[in-house]
Structure 1
Amino acid sequence: MGQELLKEVPKLTEWPHFSGEEEYDHMEFIRGIDMIKQDFKVTDRLVKEIFNTLFTKSAHRWYMKLRQAHRPKLDLVETQIINKCANDA
């Protein structure tokens, strides 16, 4: 990723966050991440490094367990979010 494009990437506070609680739309969270990745050419590696910040509350606890068990790739995390939210609904 070029330095100029990196300067344009939104601050972490402007990225979508996901708590997994109350009324939430997990697909909106995933689409938001995918849009930032495409618009600013953000790598999967960078997204994985900041997931710890993007997940909050129960979603953060869930992600930390997933991460400890698998060190998952981004597409696996997205699939796991969809599966978990579909099963919890």
Structure 2
Amino acid sequence: MGQELLKEVPKLKEWPHFSGEGEYDHTEFIRGIDIIKEDFALPDRLVTETLNNLFTRSAHRWYIKLRQAHENQIWTWWKTQIIQKLANDAWRFKFETAFESA
């Protein structure tokens, strides 16, 4: 990755953050990371090293526990874990209801 392109990567405060609390949409969080990764051709390692700073509150506690248990993993693995953890029946129902009423 060239130094010039690396300088253009958004600062951490501009990346999506995720707490996993309240009115959340984990798909928007994942999509935001995917867009940055794709737009700046970021390697998986850079993305996964950033996750510690992107998760907050209860999501950060969940991340730390999973990170300790599974060590270094690729971004695709983390996306799967996020979806498995957060795409529960209540979230799906709420999402589908909102979609149908739009």
TM-score class, shorter-chain normalisation, is over 0.9
Secondary structure of the equivalent of 2:6?
helix
Aligned-pair distance for 1:73? 2.1
RMSD of equivalent CA atoms: 1.1
**Normalising to structure 1: TM-score of the pair?**
0.95
Aligned to 1:86: 87
Aligned to 2:13: 13
Percent identity over the alignment? Answer: 71
Aligned-pair distance for 1:43? 1.0
Unaligned runs of 5+ in 1: none
1:39-80 alpha-carbon deviations (Å, 9 max, x no partner): 011111001111100000000000000100002321111101
Q: Which is greater in Rg?
A: 2
Give the Cα separation in 2 of the matches to 1:31 and 1:66: 21
How do residues 41-60 of structure 1 correspond to structure 2 at under 5 angstroms? 41-60=41-60
Secondary structure of the equivalent of 2:87?
helix
Aligned to 1:36: 36
Highest RCO, 1 vs 2 (Cα 8 Å, sep ≥ 6): 1
Say how many residue pairs are matched.
89
Give the Cα separation in 1 of the matches to 2:51 and 2:37: 13
**Normalising to structure 2: TM-score of the pair?**
0.83
Greater than 3 Å deviation, 4+ residue runs: none
Give the Cα separation in 1 of the matches to 2:64 and 2:47: 15
- Aligned amino acid, residue 59 of structure 1: A
Give the Cα separation in 1 of the matches to 2:87 and 2:40: 29
- Aligned amino acid, residue 45 of structure 2: R
